[in-house]
Chains A and B, each alone.
Chain A
């Protein structure tokens, strides 16, 4: 059981470059999320999806775009990377959107923007 898989695990970008982070889950979960983790700030929600074909903004959506073309995949894009986007990015999923559901997390992507 793979659970939630994120690729790549590490990436270094130059300012202005673009990239896409891929998240895949094999648990048939409806909800998927992208968080970023910064020192002293915990995890903050970037975007989330409540089902195939849907996306919604979280707490810190600026500079990011997402797509959920297939239920099992949730892509996070950076169109023009900035040093402020240097962070560890986590994808997560949950079966439903009720507040009681625990999230299943991927292992994270460490992104550095120079």
Chain B
């Protein structure tokens, strides 16, 4: 069975602080994909990044960076110099198994960035 754990329920930071959102996953499959989605106050989920199990390279996109470590089954997300517009719920998700894009989501982390 697949499982995603986001232990941080809510994080509050002041603008310009760096913040890391943790994600730990469980799967017995050797091929799997990890995702991060952002849910702003408007409600719609927005895709941020996808990573496959064979690619452990870290990725940076502007102020966003992701650290994938198979040894610890973690796929953490860091926002550098946070901004108020980063306030949202962030979900980590896992897709594994034979076929079918049936994502398993973590519970989500609420990020509040205060000005």
Contacts and interface: CB of A to CB of B under 8 A. Distances in A.
Nearest to A43: B105
A31 interface: yes
Interface residues of B, number: 30
Interface string A40-78: 111111001010000000100000000000000000000
B44 A105 contact: yes
Interface residues of A, number: 29
B101 A99 contact: yes
A45 B101 CA distance: 11
B95 A48 contact: no
A99 B96 contact: yes
B50 interface: yes
B44 A99 contact: no
A107 B107 contact: no
Nearest to A6: B44
Contacts of A42: 4, 6, 91, 105-108
B14 to A, nearest CB: 25
A43 B52 CA distance: 21
Interface stretch (A11-19, A20-28, A90-98): A90-98
Contacts of A94: 101
B28 interface: no
